[in-house]
A and B are shown apart, each in its own frame.
Chain A
Amino acid sequence: MIPGISIYELLTVTSILFFIGVYGFITRKNLISILISVELILNASVINFVVINKYMYPDMLQGVLFSIFIIAVAAAETALAVSIIINLYRQINSVEVKDIETMKY
């Protein structure tokens, strides 16, 4: 509950965050940075949950709980992704997204 800042600003921020993430995902050349963009997307929804919980339904904590779980899962997800990326790097010495287009059409 930040005084002077209404829910709308915050939600706008999260939306922007979300689309930044999407943009990053689509445009980055490097797998790692794509992964980071994914994190942005997830975090956008995390903030969403918290904000909505705080501003609209302050008497329950569902949103907050949810956000915690999201963070945890996101961590696991990242770990897994990174491990696969590393494995990939072992084989092709590159984490460029353009190098993983062997299967197409």
Chain B
Amino acid sequence: MNLGYILLIPLIPLVVFLLLGIFNQRIKPAISGYIGVFGLLVSTILSCYAAYQYFFVHGKVNGVYQTFVEKTVWMNFSDTLHIDMGIFIDPISVMMLVVVSTVSLMVHIYSRGYMKGDDGYTKFFAFLSLFSFSMYGLVLATNLFQIYIFWELVGVSSYLLIGYYYTKESAVAAAKKAFIVTRFADLGFLIGILIMGYYTGTYDFETLNDPEGNAILNWASTSFMGLSVLTWGLILIFIGGAGKSAMFPLHIWLPDAMEGPTPVSALIHAATMVVAGVFLVARLFPMYYFIEDGFALNIVAFVGAFSALFAAIIAITQTDIKRVLAFSTMSQLGYMMLALGVSGYDGHEGLGYMASMFHLFTHAMFKALLFLGAGSVIHAVHSNYLKDMGGLRKYMPITNITFLIAALAISGVPPFAGFFSKDEILVAVYEHNKLLYFVGVFVAGLTAFYMFRIYFGIFWGKETKYEHKPHESPISMTFPLLFLALMSILGGFIPFSDFVTADKAGFEAHLNYPLAAVAVVVGLIGIVLAWVFYKKESDLADRLANFFGPLYQWTSDKFYFDAIYLFITKKILFKRVAAPIAWFDRNIVDGTMNLIGNSTVKTSEKIKGMQSGKVQDYAFAFMAGVVILAIVFVYLWAE
């Protein structure tokens, strides 16, 4: 299949970025907005065409989706190791192309309304394009190093976009935090790559993932501290993924990242970048599955499950709607990880894998929708906090409807998209590990609860006094809402199991009615509870909060993780490490050097008495010298 035009998909945003970046000052905002949108539009069309071509025309050869690779050497390390740049076409990358394109396009359109009148409008679109480019590069990566490169690039564009309001201290801090935390995770990723490269002699996904390949067959050849070195490598790589996907305990940057403009949160911190971690694990899935019988994979599963639960609990108590959404994102990502973690490889075994990808797809749609909805609300009331909202449904109907759809979707209520993907996940987990299954179900309930908590809080509940009447957002913002709402409704009916599976063969997925029923019931319970607590204003919620007391406090303070990290960085690293080192350098190392110099000068000061000016002393020294030399060299040293 011809991949030439796929190359254009990442390149167009890059061109747009350079265009807008370099002529930042000279381009009129309106124009730059159009340029950005147009660029993305082209990319989107191409992606969809590529998807059509791949899934329905060329992709499948005797029942198995082929992998198409186009690559060229970018840099040589040694005769064997080298970094390639290229495009890697297989089901998940094509699927990701579609996801990224659609969401990104929607966000572009949305931003034209949301960011209107902001100075740095052009800059904003430049950064968005940069991000889209990096994200495309990431999903199309052909080898570990290429993915790492774009991994870093999405990281930096996220940094730039979070810090977009750079005059706000909090935004700057958040951006810094996001970058450094993910950077720390990437350290693990990098070391993992080094290990892979050293022990397998290649970075290529094709070679690494080949079930008959050397990497997978001889994983046991070298071991370190009881585990195969490759397992260590995979674990380290997963740390990288966990950092990007805000898995516990590297999640702390995600809530703060909400300092960025809302469209950014929708695009980067809900739909696309944060799923990169999931994508990474999926990309290396065969290795995770086969090496050491999926030891690393189990870690993925448990981390995912825990994060899902952890985040869901915190989400209940947050009052900043964007933060609620942030934690919900984290929780859903946990779901995806969990699904991957419990998945098998071939045939129906690979249900979890499929489900995870499916959920990634649907989640992208409805979470983006949620964020954009929240954005339009915030745009209307100029605040992030629930207390400033309420009863908005009559002011902004479209937002209301779309938000409701999204909420239903995420709560897994049929027939919305979330229902199908979540159901698949739960089935997969159920087949693998009952405990995790219950966790999953519980989280599903919590999800429904907190989601409707904010839904009711925003659109129903008592009306707060608005200094100026909120109004529905302009078409440029509502159109994306509607479109995404549509996707959240229809998305579920895509027969994912035919397209995206671990062994690329595809299988017949069918609803597991009892489990589905359970999930739905739990979801509904959550909604009902939320309805009881928050539909009409009542002090039930507060009473409940008081009932839990300290526990509630903990959760609303996110279990003090920020505090812990702050302690480690500020108190330990800065005060206990950096400061002493700086002191040591100035006083000990530099001191020694100065000491050498000063002591020389001092010595010369001390011995000046020798030159006494008395000719007789000179004569004495003269004779003494002679005598000493004589004694030493005539008697002592004479051989």
The residues of A with any CB-CB pair to B shorter than 8 Å are 22, 25-28, 34, 97-98, 100-105
Contacts and interface: CB of A to CB of B under 8 A. Distances in A.
16 contacts: A22-B619, A22-B623, A25-B616, A25-B619, A26-B623, A27-B616, A34-B616, A98-B614, A100-B615, A101-B613, A101-B614, A103-B613, A104-B611, A104-B614, A105-B608, A105-B609
Contacts, number: 30
A77 B623 CA distance: 20
Given A34-B616, A100-B615, A104-B613, 7 more contacts: A22-B619, A26-B616, A26-B619, A97-B615, A104-B611, A104-B614, A105-B613
B613 A102 contact: yes
Interface of B: 608-609, 611-616, 619-620, 623
Among A25, A26, A28, A100, find the residue whose CB has the most chain B CB atoms closer than 10 A. A26
Contacts of B614: 97-98, 101, 104
A101 B620 contact: no
The 10 closest A-B pairs by CB, nearest first: A104-B613, A101-B613, A105-B608, A26-B616, A26-B620, A25-B619, A105-B611, A26-B619, A22-B623, A101-B614
A103 B616 CA distance: 14
Nearest to B608: A105
Contacts of A104: 611-614
Contacts of A105: 608-609, 611, 613
A104 B614 CA distance: 8
Contacts of B611: 104-105
A77 to B, nearest CB: 15
Nearest to A27: B616
B271 to A, nearest CB: 82
Contacts of B615: 34, 97, 100
A27 B623 CA distance: 13
Contacts of A26: 616, 619-620, 623
A8 to B, nearest CB: 19
A26 B612 CA distance: 14
B616 A97 contact: yes
A81 B76 CA distance: 84
Contacts of A27: 616
A101 B611 CA distance: 10
Contacts of B609: 105
A28 B615 CA distance: 11
Contacts of B623: 22, 26
A25 B613 CA distance: 15
A79 B608 CA distance: 34
Contacts of A100: 615
A64 to B, nearest CB: 26
Nearest to B611: A105
A27 B614 CA distance: 11
Nearest to B616: A26
A54 B611 CA distance: 43
A81 B167 CA distance: 87
B145 to A, nearest CB: 69
A101 B609 CA distance: 13
Contacts of B619: 22, 25-26
B146 to A, nearest CB: 73
B200 to A, nearest CB: 74
A25 B614 CA distance: 12
A26 B620 CA distance: 6
B110 to A, nearest CB: 85
A100 B608 CA distance: 18
A28 B616 CA distance: 9
A98 B615 CA distance: 9
Nearest to B609: A105
A27 to B, nearest CB: 7
Nearest to A22: B623
B610 to A, nearest CB: 9
A97 B609 CA distance: 18
Nearest to A29: B616
Residue among A97, A100, A101 having the largest count of chain B Cβ atoms under 10 Å: A101
A26 B619 CA distance: 6
Nearest to B626: A22
Contacts of B613: 101-105
A58 B43 CA distance: 119
A33 to B, nearest CB: 11
Nearest to B620: A26
B27 to A, nearest CB: 76
A43 B639 CA distance: 33
A2 B455 CA distance: 136
Nearest to A104: B613
Contacts of A22: 619, 623
A82 to B, nearest CB: 16
Contacts of B616: 25-28, 34, 97
A30 to B, nearest CB: 11
A100 B623 CA distance: 21
Contacts of A101: 612-614
A15 B490 CA distance: 123
A82 B183 CA distance: 88
Contacts of B620: 26
A34 B620 CA distance: 13
A48 to B, nearest CB: 16
Contacts of A103: 613
Nearest to B613: A104
A25 B615 CA distance: 9
A17 to B, nearest CB: 15
Contacts of A97: 614-616
B605 to A, nearest CB: 10
A25 B618 CA distance: 10
Nearest to B617: A26
Contacts of B612: 101, 104
Contacts of A25: 616, 619
Nearest to B614: A101
A33 B623 CA distance: 18
Nearest to A31: B615
A25 B622 CA distance: 12
A27 B613 CA distance: 15
